Amino acid sequence: MNKKKKPEFDEKAEIISNKAKALSHPARILILLSLQKANHQSCKELVEQLPFSQSTVSQHLYALVSAGFLESKGHKTSTIFSLKNGAIQEYQMLFSAVFTMKKEDRQLSMF
């Protein structure tokens, strides 16, 4: 029996990939932008602003919380979501650090 070996990836590559997956849906970008305008909103408040059902918004909120972009806190009978302080900036810095090439590593010609 042939078992395929699971590839091992660099930790930074895994982090970038997981966070990019969370940002890969346009609805999630709209949720982040909505929270950027007015942080600390419930799912119901977000549903009122966005053209999506409550179940769709909940699903996307869960993905954004799991990826570390949002924080959630229970308040009475609902959950309040907010942008995790510095999470987007941390992702931008990690992405830039990995994909910024050193001057000596740049290819001078295409051939």
Which residues span the domain enclosing 37? 11-97
| 78/73 Cα distance (integer angstroms) | 9
Number of Cβ within 10 Å of residue 57's Cβ equals 24
The enclosing domain of 69 has a CATH number of 1.10.10.10
pLDDT tens, residue by residue, 27-39 = 999 999 999 999 9
Please report whether residue 5 resides in a domain: no
Question: What string of pLDDT tens digits covers the 111 residues of the chain?
Answer: 567 776 777 788 888 899 999 999 999 999 999 999 999 999 999 999 999 999 999 999 999 999 999 999 999 899 999 999 999 999 999 888 877 866 555 455 454
Which residue type sits at 15? Answer: I
| 75/92 Cα distance (integer angstroms) | 31
How many domains is the chain built from? Answer: 1
pLDDT at site 1:
55
pLDDT tens, residue by residue, 10-30 = 788 888 899 999 999 999 999
Please report whether residue 25 resides in a domain: yes
User: Three-state SS for 11?
Assistant: helix
Please report whether residue 70 resides in a domain: yes
Please report whether residue 109 resides in a domain: no
